[in-house]
A and B are shown apart, each in its own frame.
Chain A
Amino acid sequence: MAASITKGDVQVGLALPTLTIEVTARTVVMGASASRDWQPQHHDHAHAMAAQGNDIFLNTPNQAGFIQRYLTDWTGPRGRLGKLRFRMGRSICVGHTLTFDATVTALATDDTGCCWADLSVVLKADGEVATTALARIAIPADDGDNPWAREGDAWQPSALGDVTPPTS
Protein backbone atom coordinates (compact mmCIF):
# COMPACT_ATOMS: atom_id res chain seq x y z
CA MET A 1 0.00 0.00 0.00
CA ALA A 2 1.15 3.53 -0.76
CA ALA A 3 2.75 5.05 2.34
CA SER A 4 0.62 7.51 4.30
CA ILE A 5 0.26 8.65 7.85
CA THR A 6 -2.52 6.96 9.82
CA LYS A 7 -4.68 8.15 12.70
CA GLY A 8 -2.21 6.84 15.29
CA ASP A 9 0.49 9.21 13.97
CA VAL A 10 -1.57 12.34 14.65
CA GLN A 11 -2.40 14.26 17.84
CA VAL A 12 -4.20 17.56 18.43
CA GLY A 13 -1.58 20.30 18.62
CA LEU A 14 0.79 18.58 16.19
CA ALA A 15 2.56 21.20 14.06
CA LEU A 16 3.43 20.43 10.44
CA PRO A 17 6.87 21.29 9.09
CA THR A 18 7.05 24.72 7.47
CA LEU A 19 6.95 24.88 3.67
CA THR A 20 8.73 27.84 2.04
CA ILE A 21 8.14 29.05 -1.53
CA GLU A 22 9.97 31.94 -3.16
CA VAL A 23 7.25 33.66 -5.21
CA THR A 24 8.44 34.62 -8.69
CA ALA A 25 6.54 36.02 -11.68
CA ARG A 26 6.50 32.48 -13.02
CA THR A 27 4.85 31.20 -9.81
CA VAL A 28 2.04 33.74 -10.11
CA VAL A 29 1.49 33.52 -13.87
CA MET A 30 1.70 29.74 -13.99
CA GLY A 31 -0.76 29.52 -11.10
CA ALA A 32 -3.18 31.82 -12.91
CA SER A 33 -2.81 29.88 -16.16
CA ALA A 34 -3.22 26.49 -14.49
CA SER A 35 -6.49 27.70 -12.96
CA ARG A 36 -7.60 29.41 -16.24
CA ASP A 37 -7.85 32.77 -14.50
CA TRP A 38 -6.90 35.67 -16.82
CA GLN A 39 -7.86 38.57 -14.59
CA PRO A 40 -5.06 41.11 -15.19
CA GLN A 41 -3.91 41.41 -11.56
CA HIS A 42 -2.46 37.89 -11.85
CA HIS A 43 -0.31 38.44 -14.95
CA ASP A 44 -0.03 42.17 -15.80
CA HIS A 45 2.56 43.96 -13.67
CA ALA A 46 1.64 47.47 -14.89
CA HIS A 47 -2.06 46.86 -14.24
CA ALA A 48 -1.43 45.56 -10.72
CA MET A 49 0.87 48.48 -9.86
CA ALA A 50 -1.65 51.02 -11.15
CA ALA A 51 -4.66 49.37 -9.51
CA GLN A 52 -3.20 48.40 -6.13
CA GLY A 53 0.35 49.67 -5.92
CA ASN A 54 1.81 46.19 -5.67
CA ASP A 55 3.11 43.53 -8.02
CA ILE A 56 1.01 40.72 -9.50
CA PHE A 57 -0.25 38.32 -6.84
CA LEU A 58 -1.35 34.71 -6.33
CA ASN A 59 -4.96 34.05 -7.28
CA THR A 60 -7.53 32.24 -5.15
CA PRO A 61 -7.59 28.75 -6.72
CA ASN A 62 -3.79 28.65 -6.90
CA GLN A 63 -3.63 29.32 -3.15
CA ALA A 64 -6.12 26.49 -2.62
CA GLY A 65 -3.88 24.25 -4.73
CA PHE A 66 -0.80 25.16 -2.71
CA ILE A 67 -2.63 24.51 0.58
CA GLN A 68 -3.82 21.13 -0.69
CA ARG A 69 -0.28 20.25 -1.76
CA TYR A 70 1.07 21.32 1.65
CA LEU A 71 -1.42 19.08 3.46
CA THR A 72 -0.96 16.03 1.25
CA ASP A 73 2.84 16.39 1.42
CA TRP A 74 2.19 15.60 5.09
CA THR A 75 -0.54 12.93 4.85
CA GLY A 76 0.75 11.07 1.82
CA PRO A 77 -1.46 9.95 -1.08
CA ARG A 78 -4.21 8.39 1.02
CA GLY A 79 -5.01 11.74 2.63
CA ARG A 80 -8.24 13.04 1.05
CA LEU A 81 -9.25 16.65 1.44
CA GLY A 82 -12.90 17.06 2.45
CA LYS A 83 -13.30 20.77 3.17
CA LEU A 84 -11.21 23.87 2.87
CA ARG A 85 -12.28 27.31 4.08
CA PHE A 86 -9.98 30.27 3.66
CA ARG A 87 -9.81 34.00 4.01
CA MET A 88 -7.37 36.12 2.06
CA GLY A 89 -6.09 39.37 3.51
CA ARG A 90 -2.74 40.64 2.33
CA SER A 91 -1.78 39.91 -1.30
CA ILE A 92 1.00 37.38 -1.91
CA CYS A 93 3.14 39.06 -4.56
CA VAL A 94 6.19 38.46 -6.73
CA GLY A 95 9.31 38.76 -4.55
CA HIS A 96 7.62 37.58 -1.36
CA THR A 97 8.90 34.62 0.60
CA LEU A 98 5.74 32.58 1.18
CA THR A 99 5.61 30.23 4.15
CA PHE A 100 2.99 27.67 5.12
CA ASP A 101 2.45 26.47 8.69
CA ALA A 102 -0.33 24.31 10.09
CA THR A 103 -1.47 22.83 13.38
CA VAL A 104 -3.91 19.99 14.00
CA THR A 105 -6.90 21.48 15.87
CA ALA A 106 -9.17 18.41 16.09
CA LEU A 107 -9.26 14.70 15.38
CA ALA A 108 -12.55 12.85 15.07
CA THR A 109 -14.19 9.78 13.59
CA ASP A 110 -17.64 10.29 12.09
CA ASP A 111 -20.59 7.87 12.16
CA THR A 112 -19.43 6.19 8.97
CA GLY A 113 -16.03 5.40 10.51
CA CYS A 114 -14.14 8.00 8.51
CA CYS A 115 -11.22 9.60 10.41
CA TRP A 116 -10.84 13.35 10.01
CA ALA A 117 -8.09 15.75 10.99
CA ASP A 118 -8.95 19.45 11.17
CA LEU A 119 -6.06 21.83 10.67
CA SER A 120 -5.52 25.55 10.98
CA VAL A 121 -3.23 26.75 8.18
CA VAL A 122 -1.44 30.10 7.99
CA LEU A 123 0.23 31.54 4.89
CA LYS A 124 2.66 34.37 5.52
CA ALA A 125 4.20 36.68 2.93
CA ASP A 126 7.59 37.97 4.11
CA GLY A 127 6.58 37.03 7.65
CA GLU A 128 3.19 38.78 7.68
CA VAL A 129 -0.06 36.83 7.74
CA ALA A 130 -1.63 36.86 4.28
CA THR A 131 -4.16 34.01 4.16
CA THR A 132 -5.65 31.87 6.91
CA ALA A 133 -7.36 28.58 6.25
CA LEU A 134 -9.24 25.82 8.03
CA ALA A 135 -9.02 22.39 6.45
CA ARG A 136 -10.61 19.01 7.10
CA ILE A 137 -8.75 16.08 5.63
CA ALA A 138 -9.62 12.38 5.85
CA ILE A 139 -6.75 10.20 6.96
CA PRO A 140 -6.61 6.40 7.07
CA ALA A 141 -7.60 4.80 10.40
CA ASP A 142 -4.90 2.18 9.88
CA ASP A 143 -2.68 0.70 7.19
CA GLY A 144 -5.62 -1.12 5.58
CA ASP A 145 -7.90 1.92 5.31
CA ASN A 146 -8.29 4.11 2.23
CA PRO A 147 -10.49 7.25 2.46
CA TRP A 148 -10.66 7.41 -1.35
CA ALA A 149 -12.69 4.18 -1.35
CA ARG A 150 -15.53 6.06 0.36
CA GLU A 151 -18.45 7.15 -1.80
CA GLY A 152 -22.11 8.07 -1.47
CA ASP A 153 -23.27 8.18 2.15
CA ALA A 154 -19.88 6.89 3.38
CA TRP A 155 -18.24 10.22 2.40
CA GLN A 156 -19.60 13.05 4.56
CA PRO A 157 -17.13 15.95 4.80
CA SER A 158 -19.80 18.06 6.53
CA ALA A 159 -21.12 15.49 8.99
CA LEU A 160 -19.07 16.91 11.87
CA GLY A 161 -20.22 20.48 11.21
CA ASP A 162 -17.94 23.39 10.51
CA VAL A 163 -14.21 22.91 10.51
CA THR A 164 -12.87 23.53 14.01
CA PRO A 165 -11.20 26.91 14.36
CA PRO A 166 -8.04 27.11 16.45
CA THR A 167 -8.48 27.73 20.18
CA SER A 168 -6.47 30.68 21.47
Chain B
Amino acid sequence: MTDGATVTETELPPEVAAWVGRSLDAGVGDVGCERGYVLHWLEAVEDANPLYWDDAVADELTGGRTAPPTMLSVWMRPLMFKPDGWTPTPDAPAPDEAIRPLEIHFRLKDALDLPDGVVSWNELEFHTPVRPGDTISTTQSVRNISTLKTTRLGTGRFWQIDVTYTNQRGEVVGVETYNMFGYQRKAA
Protein backbone atom coordinates (compact mmCIF):
# COMPACT_ATOMS: atom_id res chain seq x y z
CA MET B 1 0.00 0.00 0.00
CA THR B 2 2.63 2.50 1.04
CA ASP B 3 6.33 2.32 1.69
CA GLY B 4 6.08 5.07 4.30
CA ALA B 5 8.22 7.42 2.27
CA THR B 6 5.65 10.19 2.27
CA VAL B 7 5.70 10.58 6.03
CA THR B 8 9.39 11.40 6.02
CA GLU B 9 8.80 14.25 3.53
CA THR B 10 8.40 17.46 5.45
CA GLU B 11 7.82 19.61 2.39
CA LEU B 12 4.31 19.68 1.08
CA PRO B 13 4.19 18.44 -2.51
CA PRO B 14 3.74 21.61 -4.65
CA GLU B 15 0.65 20.24 -6.36
CA VAL B 16 -0.98 19.83 -2.94
CA ALA B 17 0.27 23.17 -1.60
CA ALA B 18 -1.47 24.79 -4.58
CA TRP B 19 -4.84 23.61 -3.24
CA VAL B 20 -4.69 26.01 -0.29
CA GLY B 21 -7.16 28.83 -0.84
CA ARG B 22 -8.74 27.20 -3.87
CA SER B 23 -12.38 26.22 -3.58
CA LEU B 24 -14.49 23.36 -4.82
CA ASP B 25 -18.11 24.04 -5.70
CA ALA B 26 -20.30 21.26 -4.34
CA GLY B 27 -23.50 22.71 -5.82
CA VAL B 28 -27.03 22.91 -4.46
CA GLY B 29 -28.01 20.46 -1.70
CA ASP B 30 -30.53 17.71 -2.47
CA VAL B 31 -32.85 18.80 0.33
CA GLY B 32 -34.02 22.39 0.74
CA CYS B 33 -35.19 23.84 4.03
CA GLU B 34 -38.76 22.93 4.92
CA ARG B 35 -40.89 22.93 8.05
CA GLY B 36 -41.15 19.15 8.40
CA TYR B 37 -37.38 18.78 8.66
CA VAL B 38 -37.20 21.56 11.23
CA LEU B 39 -39.83 19.76 13.35
CA HIS B 40 -37.90 16.48 13.04
CA TRP B 41 -34.75 18.23 14.28
CA LEU B 42 -36.62 19.85 17.18
CA GLU B 43 -38.10 16.52 18.30
CA ALA B 44 -34.65 14.88 18.10
CA VAL B 45 -33.09 17.37 20.53
CA GLU B 46 -36.32 18.12 22.44
CA ASP B 47 -35.91 21.84 21.76
CA ALA B 48 -38.88 23.83 23.07
CA ASN B 49 -37.58 27.24 21.93
CA PRO B 50 -40.75 29.23 21.09
CA LEU B 51 -38.86 30.86 18.22
CA TYR B 52 -39.49 27.63 16.29
CA TRP B 53 -42.93 26.68 17.65
CA ASP B 54 -44.82 29.94 18.15
CA ASP B 55 -45.44 31.93 14.97
CA ALA B 56 -46.11 35.11 16.94
CA VAL B 57 -42.61 34.90 18.47
CA ALA B 58 -41.06 34.03 15.08
CA ASP B 59 -42.84 36.97 13.43
CA GLU B 60 -41.70 39.34 16.17
CA LEU B 61 -38.04 38.27 16.38
CA THR B 62 -37.10 36.84 12.97
CA GLY B 63 -39.84 38.11 10.65
CA GLY B 64 -41.26 34.61 10.19
CA ARG B 65 -40.17 31.01 10.61
CA THR B 66 -36.50 30.02 10.55
CA ALA B 67 -34.53 26.80 10.99
CA PRO B 68 -32.27 26.37 14.05
CA PRO B 69 -28.79 27.58 13.01
CA THR B 70 -27.05 24.28 13.86
CA MET B 71 -29.14 22.55 11.16
CA LEU B 72 -26.59 23.92 8.65
CA SER B 73 -25.11 20.60 7.52
CA VAL B 74 -28.57 19.05 7.01
CA TRP B 75 -28.89 21.12 3.84
CA MET B 76 -25.85 19.61 2.14
CA ARG B 77 -26.17 15.87 2.90
CA PRO B 78 -27.08 13.87 -0.20
CA LEU B 79 -30.21 11.76 -0.57
CA MET B 80 -29.54 8.06 -0.03
CA PHE B 81 -31.61 7.18 -3.07
CA LYS B 82 -32.29 8.87 -6.37
CA PRO B 83 -34.29 7.33 -9.20
CA ASP B 84 -31.66 8.00 -11.83
CA GLY B 85 -28.40 8.21 -10.01
CA TRP B 86 -25.69 6.96 -7.75
CA THR B 87 -26.61 6.04 -4.19
CA PRO B 88 -23.86 7.00 -1.74
CA THR B 89 -23.14 4.01 0.49
CA PRO B 90 -19.85 3.31 2.23
CA ASP B 91 -19.25 0.33 -0.07
CA ALA B 92 -19.90 2.12 -3.34
CA PRO B 93 -17.12 4.53 -4.25
CA ALA B 94 -18.22 7.83 -5.71
CA PRO B 95 -17.97 8.23 -9.46
CA ASP B 96 -15.24 10.65 -10.52
CA GLU B 97 -17.62 13.53 -11.09
CA ALA B 98 -19.45 13.23 -7.75
CA ILE B 99 -18.64 15.78 -5.06
CA ARG B 100 -19.16 14.15 -1.68
CA PRO B 101 -19.59 16.08 1.57
CA LEU B 102 -15.99 16.96 2.53
CA GLU B 103 -14.79 15.72 -0.88
CA ILE B 104 -11.73 17.95 -0.60
CA HIS B 105 -10.73 16.15 2.64
CA PHE B 106 -10.76 12.76 0.90
CA ARG B 107 -8.82 14.13 -2.06
CA LEU B 108 -6.18 15.55 0.30
CA LYS B 109 -5.84 12.21 2.12
CA ASP B 110 -5.34 10.48 -1.21
CA ALA B 111 -2.88 13.05 -2.54
CA LEU B 112 -0.77 12.94 0.64
CA ASP B 113 -1.03 9.17 1.06
CA LEU B 114 -2.45 9.52 4.56
CA PRO B 115 -5.06 6.76 4.71
CA ASP B 116 -6.60 7.50 8.12
CA GLY B 117 -8.32 10.68 9.23
CA VAL B 118 -9.99 12.06 12.34
CA VAL B 119 -11.78 15.29 13.11
CA SER B 120 -9.79 17.16 15.76
CA TRP B 121 -12.38 19.87 16.26
CA ASN B 122 -15.30 21.50 14.44
CA GLU B 123 -16.33 25.10 14.37
CA LEU B 124 -19.61 26.50 13.16
CA GLU B 125 -20.24 30.17 12.49
CA PHE B 126 -23.77 31.32 11.80
CA HIS B 127 -24.93 34.19 9.63
CA THR B 128 -28.23 34.91 7.80
CA PRO B 129 -30.94 32.58 9.16
CA VAL B 130 -32.14 29.74 6.91
CA ARG B 131 -35.88 29.79 6.24
CA PRO B 132 -38.37 27.27 4.86
CA GLY B 133 -38.21 27.51 1.07
CA ASP B 134 -34.49 28.27 0.97
CA THR B 135 -32.12 26.16 -1.11
CA ILE B 136 -28.55 25.97 0.10
CA SER B 137 -25.31 25.61 -1.87
CA THR B 138 -21.88 24.78 -0.51
CA THR B 139 -18.29 25.40 -1.49
CA GLN B 140 -15.35 23.67 0.18
CA SER B 141 -11.88 25.12 0.52
CA VAL B 142 -8.60 24.26 2.21
CA ARG B 143 -7.52 27.02 4.60
CA ASN B 144 -4.15 25.59 5.55
CA ILE B 145 -2.10 22.39 5.78
CA SER B 146 0.44 21.84 8.57
CA THR B 147 3.92 20.43 8.48
CA LEU B 148 4.30 16.75 9.40
CA LYS B 149 3.48 16.04 13.02
CA THR B 150 3.46 12.92 15.13
CA THR B 151 0.68 12.31 17.64
CA ARG B 152 -0.35 9.23 19.61
CA LEU B 153 -2.33 8.14 16.53
CA GLY B 154 0.52 8.29 14.05
CA THR B 155 2.35 10.70 11.78
CA GLY B 156 0.54 13.03 9.45
CA ARG B 157 -0.70 16.53 8.87
CA PHE B 158 -3.41 18.76 10.25
CA TRP B 159 -5.52 20.70 7.79
CA GLN B 160 -8.45 23.05 8.01
CA ILE B 161 -11.35 22.84 5.59
CA ASP B 162 -14.01 25.54 5.38
CA VAL B 163 -17.44 24.66 4.06
CA THR B 164 -19.30 27.85 3.18
CA TYR B 165 -23.08 27.65 2.94
CA THR B 166 -25.01 30.20 0.85
CA ASN B 167 -28.70 30.59 0.14
CA GLN B 168 -30.39 31.10 -3.25
CA ARG B 169 -29.79 34.85 -2.97
CA GLY B 170 -26.06 34.36 -2.51
CA GLU B 171 -26.14 35.34 1.18
CA VAL B 172 -23.78 33.41 3.44
CA VAL B 173 -25.85 31.49 5.99
CA GLY B 174 -22.93 29.84 7.75
CA VAL B 175 -19.39 28.52 7.63
CA GLU B 176 -18.32 25.17 9.00
CA THR B 177 -14.62 24.64 9.72
CA TYR B 178 -13.18 21.18 10.17
CA ASN B 179 -9.76 20.76 11.72
CA MET B 180 -8.66 17.35 10.48
CA PHE B 181 -5.70 15.13 11.17
CA GLY B 182 -4.81 12.86 8.26
CA TYR B 183 -2.22 10.26 9.22
CA GLN B 184 -0.52 6.92 8.78
CA ARG B 185 -0.94 4.67 11.79
CA LYS B 186 2.02 3.89 13.95
CA ALA B 187 3.51 0.52 13.12
CA ALA B 188 2.15 -2.00 15.64
Contacts and interface: CB of A to CB of B under 8 A. Distances in A.
Interface of A: 1-2, 21, 27, 30-31, 33-40, 60-62, 64-69, 72-73, 77-78, 80-88, 146, 148-149, 151, 155, 157-158
B44 A30 contact: yes
Contact of B49 (A27, A30, A77): A77
Contacts, number: 112
Interface stretch (B2-10, B55-63, B104-112): B55-63
B122 A31 contact: no
A90 B69 CA distance: 25
B80 interface: yes
Interface in B30-70: 31, 37, 40-41, 43-51, 57, 60-62, 68-70
11 contacts: A21-B46, A34-B41, A36-B31, A61-B72, A68-B45, A69-B47, A77-B49, A84-B124, A146-B61, A149-B61, A158-B125
Given A61-B71, A83-B125, 19 more contacts: A2-B51, A34-B37, A34-B41, A34-B45, A35-B74, A36-B77, A40-B90, A61-B73, A64-B124, A65-B68, A68-B70, A69-B49, A72-B47, A78-B61, A83-B126, A84-B124, A85-B122, A148-B61, A155-B127
Interface residues of B, number: 38
